[in-house]
Structure 1
């Protein structure tokens, strides 16, 4: 008010109004300029080249990152001592004879040892008479399950491949589609692997140990033939028609 009154005495009123408006605009410009200026002018600012990250941000590198373990690796880290010595995997062929047998790829003693290694049950061996001209030995074993039966056959076949010569034939696995019986012809030995139920049903032990004369399965009477024998007296004295 003092400025306007003072100017109004010396100059016309319209001119005073324009002078006052000009002063206000200049004051506002000066206030804006002070706000735009940085608070600390003593610091030297450097411009960051285009495409580069500003120095105030930390640069991330893969080699500096922390390794995050999954749940199994984390458990193993605490379960095993820091300086623990890694145990060597056991040799599945330890104690087994991997040399070819005398009378065949397998000698019967070597085969029995392999069957014991695979936990085969009720191992039965019978020598076959030479006049039959089949094999030297029949070997019958029992598996705990179908999976166990296949494991026995595959392990016996694996050892066979390690013992054999190039001239020997690789035995074919018989009964692959059966759940109760598997067989391998090892040349001089015939190996039969049964389930517990099939072992009792077929009873190869009695057939090869006692012979067909004392084997109940071989001596079973045919029910039709038995019936005809009972009623055969009705046919006595009859002659065919001429």
Structure 2
């Protein structure tokens, strides 16, 4: 599966669990960390975990390799490393504090079909 298809699949999984503020940043020209960042938020820890679980389940069902998942137990900022794509699932308060969109402001945003 190509990166763009993975992004669409993961974004839909986030949206299915009512993630808010879904943004995809094209990181290819600004960072060596990943080609894309998918960033979203939820209003409470349970919802953060539900979104992360859905991303994992959808990735597994599409044979998308998850390299690492961090932060699930605290559910304030869950990072799901899908190789070329890193999915950041924030608690609303943490997202505004870390403000990755501003930190990586040079990265163009991609439109995703939800």
- Give the TM-score band, short-chain normalised: 0.7 to 0.9
Look at both structures and tell me which one has the larger radius of gyration over its CA atoms.
1
- How far off its partner does 1:114 sit? 1.6
| Alignment-derived partner of residue 69 in structure 2 | 173
Checking the alignment, whether the CA contact within 8 Å between 2:66 and 2:80 is kept in structure 1 is: no
**Is it true that 1:203 corresponds to 2:99 in the alignment?**
yes
Q: Which has the higher helix share?
A: 1
Shift of 1:170: 3.5
**Runs of 5+ consecutive residues of structure 2 not aligned to the other structure:** 108-114
**5+ residue gaps, structure 1:** 1-100, 212-242
Q: Is the partner of 1:199 in helix, strand or coil?
A: helix
Other structure's SS at 1:109 match: helix
Displacement of 1:130 in angstroms is 4.5
3-state SS of 1:129 partner: coil
Give the equivalent residue in structure 2 for 1:184. 80
CA deviation digits over 1:147-182, x for unaligned, max 9?
000000011101111111xxx644432013424111
TM-score of the two chains, using structure 2 as the length reference: 0.81
Which residue of structure 2 aligns with residue 116 of structure 1?
15
| Residue 56 of structure 2 is aligned to residue 160 of structure 1 | no
Paired position in structure 2 for 1:103:
3
Runs of 4+ residues over 4 Å off in structure 1: none
Instruction: Give the counterpart of 1:135 among 25, 31, 34.
Output: 34
Does the Cα contact within 8 Å between 1:157 and 1:171 map onto a contact in 2? no
Q: CA deviation at 1:125?
A: 1.1
The answer to which structure, 1 or 2, has the higher relative contact order (CA under 8 A, 6+ apart) is 2
Contact 2:17 2:51 in 1 (8 A): yes
How many correspondences in the alignment?
107
